[in-house]
Structure 1
Amino acid sequence: MSIAAGSYTLGPESGRLLVHTTRTGIGAKAGHDLTIEVTRWRGEATVAPSRSSVTVEIDAESLEVRKGTGGVKPLTSSDRQEIEKIVREKILHTARHPTITFRSTRVDGTAESFRVEGELSIVGVTRPVAVRGSVTEGRAHGSAVIAQSRWGIRPYSALFGTLKLSDEVEVRFDVSLGANQ
């Protein structure tokens, strides 16, 4: 399968951008592994024989907890709201850093297996990151693993440090490439 050359507009209307967290520490069984959806974002993928590129801009305040697995008790809507507040105020500091951006520096591979290298800016810090993915039936899907500490983010902890969010989070995407312009 090949991808038609052109520009593709990306965003919530074309697919999903999800963040998956896991927990660690002695108190891990009390917490939840989370699936968090980015609800406001936009991007563009340009496919060209000589130079393909990808850019994505995320509204850092638009992260919403969609699912929590594990834990001693089920995740309540109050829990979700509290987690979202902690993410905005204590992890991403969205009042000072309202956007997260990714800009590719290199795109390699084929539709069956591609790699996008780029610069990811979170909380005012920019670091390189690699994204792996593939295209199947007009949909691009893949992921990148982000170690929060590389951006100066201290993973969230609770219960006097016995429950911690793992440093590495996985960002997954599944988007339609049907909006060729």
Structure 2
Amino acid sequence: LKMRVDDFSIDVADDLSSVKATFQANRISVLTAMKDGRDDYGTLSDGDKKKILGNIADDVLNSRRHPTITFESSSVREQGSTRTVSGNLTLNGQTRSVSATIREEGANWVTDVTLQQPDFGIKPYKALGGALKVKPEVRVSVRVPKS
């Protein structure tokens, strides 16, 4: 599945020494299904998306009990044109250490992080009689304007 968080804040220190982010777990949109790493538009109806979103909010992210997802950095290391940010991610009420390599792309800072859902007490999602499955590893992409 390809989803988007619609309500979030990311605060980066002016000297780039720290990052703090908050994402609202109940403000997520389902955009499309994915097949073999590519967008698979047309697979999901609006009704499918609504049902999936409800299941994700209730059964996967437990957004009523855990309405926010947070990240707070513990270190930021510059390595040439990239930065490695390490810190604590709290998702589904469970906190784990994560690291991400951040790179510059034009006017943005960009990263892709792979999370293991079971590490956060999340059972990978299945829908449509098992025809739609989310793997245990989920790629999260973040793009933040530099200014």
- Alignment coverage as a number of residue pairs: 142
For 1:64 and 1:162, locate their aligned partners in 2 and report how far apart those are by CA, in whole Å: 20
Residues 55 and 76 (structure 1), Cα distance of their counterparts in 2 relative to 1, 3 Å cut: same
Structure 1 residues 77-126: Cα deviation after superposition (integer angstroms, max 9, x where no partner): 11111111011000011111100000001111247211111100011110
Tell me, yes or no, if the aligned pair for 1:111 and 1:135 is still in contact at 8 Å.
no
2:2 matches 1:38: no
For 2:55, the equivalent position in structure 1 comes to 86
For 2:127 and 2:110, locate their aligned partners in 1 and report how far apart those are by CA, in whole Å: 33
**Residue 39 (structure 1) shift:** 0.4
Under a length normalisation based on structure 2, what TM-score does the superposition of the two structures give? 0.87
Q: Residue 112 of structure 2 aligns to a residue in which SS?
A: strand
Match of 2:122 among 147, 150, 153: 153
Query: Where do residues 18-167 of structure 1 align in structure 2 (5 Å cutoff)?
Result: 34-48=1-15, 52-70=17-35, 74-110=43-79, 112-158=81-127, 164-167=133-136
For 1:116 and 1:64, locate their aligned partners in 2 and report how far apart those are by CA, in whole Å: 26
Moved over 3 A (4+): 158-164
Rg (Cα) greater in structure: 1
Under a length normalisation based on structure 1, what TM-score does the superposition of the two structures give? 0.72
Instruction: Please list every run of 5 or more consecutive structure 1 residues that lacks an aligned counterpart in the other structure.
Output: 1-33
Equivalent residue letter for 1:46 = A
For 1:120 and 1:102, locate their aligned partners in 2 and report how far apart those are by CA, in whole Å: 4
Output the aligned Cα RMSD: 2.0
Q: Residue 100 of structure 1 aligns to a residue in which SS?
A: strand
Q: Residue 102 of structure 1 aligns to a residue in which SS?
A: strand
**Residue 163 (structure 1) shift:** 5.4
For 1:174, the equivalent position in structure 2 comes to 143
For 1:74 and 1:153, locate their aligned partners in 2 and report how far apart those are by CA, in whole Å: 25
For 2:115 and 2:17, locate their aligned partners in 1 and report how far apart those are by CA, in whole Å: 23
Q: Residue 61 of structure 1 aligns to a residue in which SS?
A: coil
Tell me, yes or no, if the aligned pair for 1:131 and 1:144 is still in contact at 8 Å.
yes
For 2:100 and 2:109, locate their aligned partners in 1 and report how far apart those are by CA, in whole Å: 12
For 1:22, the equivalent position in structure 2 comes to none
Identity %: 29
